[in-house]
């Protein structure tokens, strides 16, 4: 099928500029405790590496959530109701999207919102071929900031927000609350949202998931530096930084860092940053919740908590929220 036979609208491009990336990187590395924003992992290469992480034997969230979604599909179908417009935050490769779209009754429109333009374009062009009746309106944007939902032709009976993969765990709990509030306001009354949330569990399982034996997570982490070299004329020597990820039980989160192997100086767009041996750049948090804690977080932002499902091993949870 050619693109003209598909209901694929022109991409709405609100993606972050190079200036925004530079400002964020400069600000993060100028702090006493250096950090980089996790959302900038996802350039074309970062998105590709993330897909590879999802396929590693240690990274259980993707396959566990997918199987859970398949198992609960009939329930989701009846609770969500017919003729929904689906808006997905951080749509990535779109594999889980298909599982959701396949279980919904006559979905009318699909709005994938994704920061990586390359990942978005690839995912929607394939989806448009397989779902010819669906209106697809891709939005390339940083969904942590408010944006207007795009128009689409035809009438839907309400929105269904979709935020799978426990990406909500990459926010701190206050940021997660802010995001849920923003989405509730954006979707308005009478709409719903499905959120995938990784659960607290045995430390060994968590540490293995972020330290896969094949070293894909390490490559993903180091790609932030490669991206800075590519896009901001940086001169990071990747061999002089090492991946470190560990579970902090007290905070209930995985922390990812890049550790400087020696004392060194790096230049980024003409600005210089010094690193001590052993100094780290904090690149990501991945919070793990228990069911009650996530339920109360969601309720505190004005959503009602309609349902929750977990897999038999209680590794992962999917929550259905409603806005009255």
Residues 117-156 vs ligand AVI: string with x where CB under 6 A? ----------------------------------------
Complex with ligand AVI: residue 137 or 254, whichever CB lies closer: 254
Residue of 7, 170, 224, 317 interacting with ligand AVI (CB under 6 A): 170
What length is written for the chain? 324
Residue of 112, 161, 165, 234 interacting with ligand AVI (CB under 6 A): 165
Residue of 99, 116, 167, 191 interacting with ligand AVI (CB under 6 A): 167
Residues binding ligand AVI: what is the number (CB under 6 A)? 11
The CA radius of gyration of the chain, in Å to the nearest whole number, is 20
In DSSP notation, 195-238 reads: EEEEBP--HHHHHHHTS-TT-HHHHHHHHHHHHHHHHH-B---G
Residue of 99, 116, 217, 223 interacting with ligand AVI (CB under 6 A): 217
Complex with ligand AVI: residue 159 or 210, whichever CB lies closer: 210
Complex with ligand AVI: residue 211 or 269, whichever CB lies closer: 211
How far apart, in whole angstroms, are the C-alpha atoms of residue 310 and residue 324? 24
Reference 165, options 191, 186, 196, 188; nearest CA is: 196
Burial of 199 (0-12, 13-18, 19+ CB in 10 A): buried
Query: Under rule CB under 6 A, which residues in 267-286 are in contact with ligand AVI?
Result: 284, 286
Which residue's CB atom is positioned nearest to ligand AVI? 286
Residue of 28, 112, 161, 169 interacting with ligand AVI (CB under 6 A): 169
What the block records as the tokens of 165 is 């993969």
Complex with ligand AVI: residue 208 or 291, whichever CB lies closer: 208
> Checking DSSP bridges between strand 109-114 and strand 139-141, what pairing results, if any?
parallel
How far apart, in whole angstroms, are the C-alpha atoms of residue 110 and residue 184? 18
Least Å distance between CB 197 and ligand AVI? 10
Residue of 210, 236, 241, 275 interacting with ligand AVI (CB under 6 A): 210
Complex with ligand AVI: residue 79 or 291, whichever CB lies closer: 291
Helix/strand/coil percent split, the chain, to 5:
40, 25, 35
What the block records as the tokens of 175 is 């940021």
Which spans of this chain sit near ligand AVI (rule: CB under 6 A)? 53, 61, 165-167, 169-170, 210, 217, 284, 286
């Amino acid at each position: 099928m050619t693109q003209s036979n598909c209901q694929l609208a022109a991409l709405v491009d609100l993606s972050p500029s190079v200036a925004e990336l530079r400002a964020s990187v400069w600000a993060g590395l100028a702090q006493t405790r250096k950090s980089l924003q996790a959302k900038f992992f996802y350039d074309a290469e970062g998105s590709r590496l993330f897909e590879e992480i999802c396929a590693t034997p240690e990274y259980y969230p993707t396959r566990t959530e997918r199987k859970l979604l398949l198992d609960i599909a009939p329930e989701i179908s009846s609770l969500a109701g017919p003729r929904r417009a689906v808006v997905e935050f951080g749509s990535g490769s779109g594999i889980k999207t298909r599982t959701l779209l396949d279980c919904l009754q006559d979905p009318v429109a699909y709005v994938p919102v994704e920061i990586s333009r390359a990942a978005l374009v690839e995912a929607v062009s394939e989806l448009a071929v397989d779902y010819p009746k669906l209106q697809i309106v891709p939005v390339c944007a940083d969904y942590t900031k408010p944006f207007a939902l795009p128009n689409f032709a035809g009438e839907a009976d309400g929105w269904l927000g979709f935020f799978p993969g426990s990406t909500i765990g990459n926010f701190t709990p206050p940021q997660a609350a802010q995001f849920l509030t923003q989405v509730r306001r954006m979707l308005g009354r009478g709409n719903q949202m499905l959120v995938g949330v990784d659960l607290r569990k045995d430390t060994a399982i968590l540490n293995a998931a972020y330290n896969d034996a094949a070293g894909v997570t390490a490559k993903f982490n180091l790609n932030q530096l490669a991206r800075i070299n590519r896009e901001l004329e940086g001169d990071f020597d990747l061999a002089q930084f090492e991946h470190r990820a560990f579970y902090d039980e007290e905070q209930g989160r995985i922390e990812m860092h890049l550790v400087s192997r020696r004392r060194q100086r790096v230049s980024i767009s003409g600005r210089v940053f010094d690193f001590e041996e052993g100094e780290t750049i904090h690149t990501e948090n991945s919070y793990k919740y228990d069911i009650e804690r996530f339920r109360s977080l969601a309720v505190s932002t004005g959503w009602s908590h309609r349902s929750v499902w977990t897999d038999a091993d209680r590794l992962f949870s999917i929550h259905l929220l409603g806005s009255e």
